[in-house]
Structure 1
Amino acid sequence: MIEVSDTLLDTQREITKLNQPVSFKSLQHLCTCSDDFLVDDKEFQQCLKGCKWSPNGLSILINSEDKRLRIFNIEDIEQNVSLCKVNQIKEGGTIYDYVWYPNFVDKNKTNNLILSTSHRSPIHLWNATDGQLEATYRVYDHVDEVAHVNSLCFNWSGEEIYSGSYGKINIFRTERPGREFIEIPTKADLHRSIISTIAMNPVDKSMFAVGTYSKDIGIYGGNQLMYILRGHKSGITQLKFSPDGLKLYSGSRKGDNDIVCWDLRNVGQTLYSAERTVTTNQRICFDISSDGKFLVSGKSMLNLI
């Protein structure tokens, strides 16, 4: 875990001092879960690929190797008990990305929605409460066949869905399922590559950033490309804006161990980088605390920093 102070860190040495693994002995263990991820096939290598908190902080969405999304509730949990699984969703192929609908309403369960994309499947909008499919959004390839997308993101109001695939960004209206979308080509500016991740600026609602496996980061405003950031040694796997919208954090896959903090007030300049161990091409996730003071990341070595 890394503490990011209000003032800029002067040297890379200072950030290295803060880059220490979390001591779990000092943290209070609340609950756990393992039985819900067991599979009957003994030769199948089950693993968990990531987890995301619901907007109200009372549910966790977990992606696993068996092509399922599982939803767990943590409301009213007692210490040292198992998480309560409330539902699971089966996708048709490997799950590439998944997000919560941003306007989560506790009392009205119909608004507890999940968006997901998987291999050779359209985008699916699911009801997290009963697991029912609510809507489908389709992108088509050059021979007019349904193509999957690699990354997903709602805008902050939940009214639009942003998806990324090879050489393009597609924007859907959430209320209009089907194949009606706005397309933004990216091949000319961001090389011919897959849009691997999308992030929305929490302050400037018209700004969003995309990352590619060709190591480029594009920053858009009003659906127009404004800046291209380059500097990573490997493909981008995750982007996240700081809560104040003035910084952009980027992480990449095997061959590049740094999470880079970009200064959006002086575009192209980096404030610092935080080193972690990434030895595979899988997405090693990181997150930022709501106050912007802490950056936490997984590593390939089975611990956190």
Structure 2
Amino acid sequence: MDLIWQSAQAPSCFKNVRWSPDGTCALTALDDGSIDLYELRHEDQGAAEMPRLRLDHVCRRREPEVVYDYLWNPLMTSQDPATCFFCTTARDQPVHIWDAFSGQLRSSIGAYDNGDDLYACLSIGITPDGATLYGGVSNGVFVFDLERGSRDRRRWTVKDPDGGDFYGLVSCMAFDRASGHGDIVALGSYSGMVGVFDEKSSSHLLTMPSHRRGVTSVKFSPCGLYLWSGGRCEPDLLCWDVRYAQVPLHRLPRVVGNHQRIDFDLERTGRYVITGGQDGIVRAYDVMEAPVPPSTAPAPAYFQYRVGPGLYFSALGDSCNGVGLHPSLPLAVTTSGQRHFPVDDADTDEERVDDDDVVDSAIRLWSVHLDAQRPVPASSPDYTNA
């Protein structure tokens, strides 16, 4: 990884980052409720030099409360302004739909029960065809038709009333794009479980009792046969073969020691997995080299690189909480930062941040080269994820 550009320090820590589907913009949130939109642009270096890439800050919007989740319209393309929108969900707020060109609020979608009480969605997702919005709540999902908004909504209960094995706050979700219209959805919960459901028939297909703490991220591989999950206080990313989900197929090490949401991303062929960590290090893994059960050998890192001040000083960098691979270019974007709580100074009446803490809240653009044509080791398992 080579650093191309970095932002100034933000007033509060970032909370993940997401590329737009066409790769022209990056969207991120901050802990103070701000939503920042960046545009990927060329920086003119003069006729004698090649132009450099940078992310220009073009828009900031603020939610009244802390942002839980946000995402792009999966059909977004800058050539069609009607598709250029993103959604946010925040504490005690309906889901807001924002215009990515003007920054104006297009509409709000409220998850209301029969008594008109508002449910704040902890997680949101849009089906691959762009027609339906899901909002995760306790033991269920609200389903909205995006064209009709709150007027056409229903609540889908994912907890089995007869004592099923999936329950809790639905904290994250992912759609299987290989299945076509997105009827197959994976849900993660703060009870530590990952479930796969067929929304069309409202059937529960399987559950992976995957994590000791809450699940914070789930993603399907491009082929739809493998499901990745990461959680709170969980030192490994887990990969599941949905055809046999009794035990994880792979475990990829990373550093996650508290409840902060640390995200990961998959390279577009599904061969490489790249993840952040609370030690400020970005790690990438070649799935073809990851051991499978019953082997307990650690997965070898394809590369690992420190972001933040640790690049330039001996001190450790702050947490790298978000990483995203560009959909078509050899680029990656990272976000860093975490909450730093003041400590009491015994000699004074003032509170201060611990001197040993390195505070780094920035968004950075990197060049990254993941060789999809890299020869597969002879000892690799007999399957393909391409």
TM-score (norm 1): 0.84
**Per-residue CA distance 1:58-87 (angstroms, 9 max, x = gap):** 110011112111110113345667521111
Of 189, 192, 209, the match for 1:212: 189
Deviation at 1:258, TM superposition (A): 1.3
Of 87, 90, 115, the match for 2:62: 90
Q: Paired residue for 1:202?
A: 177
Of 177, 182, 189, the match for 2:149: 177
In 2, Cα distance between equivalents of 1:240 and 1:217 = 11
Deviation at 1:89, TM superposition (A): 1.5
In the alignment, structure 1 residue 48 sits paired with structure 2 residue 48: no
1:136-147 equivalences in 2 (<5 Å): 136-141=108-113, 143-147=115-119
Query: Would the alpha carbon gap of residues 138 and 190 (structure 1) be closer, same or farther in structure 2, given more than 3 Å must change?
Result: farther
Deviates more, 1:80-89 or 1:146-155: 80-89
In 2, Cα distance between equivalents of 1:182 and 1:190 = 23
Q: Paired residue for 1:237?
A: 216
Question: Matched residue pairs, number?
Answer: 270
Of 284, 296, 305, the match for 2:262: 284
Deviation at 1:103, TM superposition (A): 0.9
Q: Is the 8 A contact 2:236 2:254 kept in 1?
A: yes
Q: Which runs of 4+ in 1 moved over 6 A?
A: none
Q: Is the 8 A contact 1:29 1:80 kept in 2?
A: no
**Per-residue CA distance 1:226-258 (angstroms, 9 max, x = gap):** 11111311111100000111100010002x211
Q: Paired residue for 1:33?
A: 7
In 2, Cα distance between equivalents of 1:303 and 1:82 = 22
1:155-194 equivalences in 2 (<5 Å): 155-188=127-160, 189-190=164-165, 192-194=167-169
In 2, Cα distance between equivalents of 1:139 and 1:56 = 29
Counterpart amino acid of 1:218? Answer: G
Deviates more, 1:78-87 or 1:132-141: 78-87
Identity of aligned residues (%): 26
In the alignment, structure 1 residue 272 sits paired with structure 2 residue 238: no
In 2, Cα distance between equivalents of 1:108 and 1:177 = 21
Q: Is the 8 A contact 1:127 1:133 kept in 2?
A: yes
Q: Is the 8 A contact 2:89 2:95 kept in 1?
A: yes
Q: Paired residue for 2:297?
A: none
Q: Is the 8 A contact 2:171 2:190 kept in 1?
A: yes
Of 4, 9, 26, the match for 1:60: 26
In 2, Cα distance between equivalents of 1:88 and 1:202 = 30
Q: Paired residue for 1:294?
A: 272
Q: Is the 8 A contact 1:32 1:80 kept in 2?
A: no
**Per-residue CA distance 1:146-191 (angstroms, 9 max, x = gap):** 2210000100011000110111111111101125312111233355
Deviation at 1:194, TM superposition (A): 0.4
Q: Is the 8 A contact 2:167 2:189 kept in 1?
A: no
In 2, Cα distance between equivalents of 1:260 and 1:64 = 27
Deviation at 1:50, TM superposition (A): 0.7
Query: Would the alpha carbon gap of residues 262 and 81 (structure 1) be closer, same or farther in structure 2, given more than 3 Å must change?
Result: closer
Of 223, 227, 230, the match for 2:206: 227
Q: Paired residue for 2:96?
A: 124
Q: Is the 8 A contact 2:42 2:52 kept in 1?
A: no
Deviation at 1:141, TM superposition (A): 4.8
In 2, Cα distance between equivalents of 1:160 and 1:300 = 34
In 2, Cα distance between equivalents of 1:143 and 1:217 = 30
Q: Is the 8 A contact 1:138 1:179 kept in 2?
A: no
Q: Paired residue for 1:21?
A: none
SS across alignment from 2:150: coil
In 1, Cα distance between equivalents of 2:238 and 2:177 = 19
TM-score (norm 2): 0.67
Q: Is the 8 A contact 1:278 1:299 kept in 2?
A: yes
Deviation at 1:267, TM superposition (A): 3.1
Counterpart amino acid of 2:210? Answer: G
Counterpart amino acid of 2:16? Answer: G
What root-mean-square deviation, in Å, do the aligned CA atoms of Structure 1 and Structure 2 show? Answer: 1.7
Deviates more, 1:175-184 or 1:116-125: 175-184
SS across alignment from 1:270: coil
